Amino acid sequence: MAGKVGGSKGGPVSEPNVIPFIDILLVLLIIFMVTAPIPTVDIRVDLPPPNPVPIRLEGLNPTIVGIRETSTGMAIFVDEEVVQLSQLGEKTLDHAIRNNPALNVEDIYAEARIFVRADQSTAYGNVVDVMSQLQEEGFVKVGIFAELASEG
């Protein structure tokens, strides 16, 4: 018995060896991180303060850009007037000038509020395309017109 001071050596080990498993998981994690798609479109979002204050549009009438899915594709409306995506900027400018007579024409791009409204069945990509088009035209205050699902 003098030879067994440190316990039995060479006997079966009951714990599994998890080190190779962890190595494989880390390699897979790195592969998925490298091959993940990079987002191509960024939308600037101004989050409300923790205790939101109702927005007051004193003297400013928003212009509503609506999007609906139809059997032939996407239909775009600016204040209920049907427009093509290529005409969206100029028609939105016309309606924003008409809705906000107190603003100078130079201030319309910076001050006029444009709200994008879409049905729940509208593809998210179409909403992003319309918002991007409006921002490329120079409109600064482009937002999303949201309503509860029970209201629609």
Determine the pLDDT at residue 56.
Answer: 62
The answer to whether the CB of 120 falls within 8 A of the CB of 152 is: yes
The series of mean pLDDT values per 10 residues for the chain, 152 residues long, is: 56 82 93 80 71 62 85 86 87 88 83 86 86 89 73 52
Pure H helices in 1-152: 19-35, 88-99, 108-111, 124-137
Determine the pLDDT at residue 23.
Answer: 93
Distance of CA 147 to the CA centre of its chain: 16
pTM for the model: 0.59
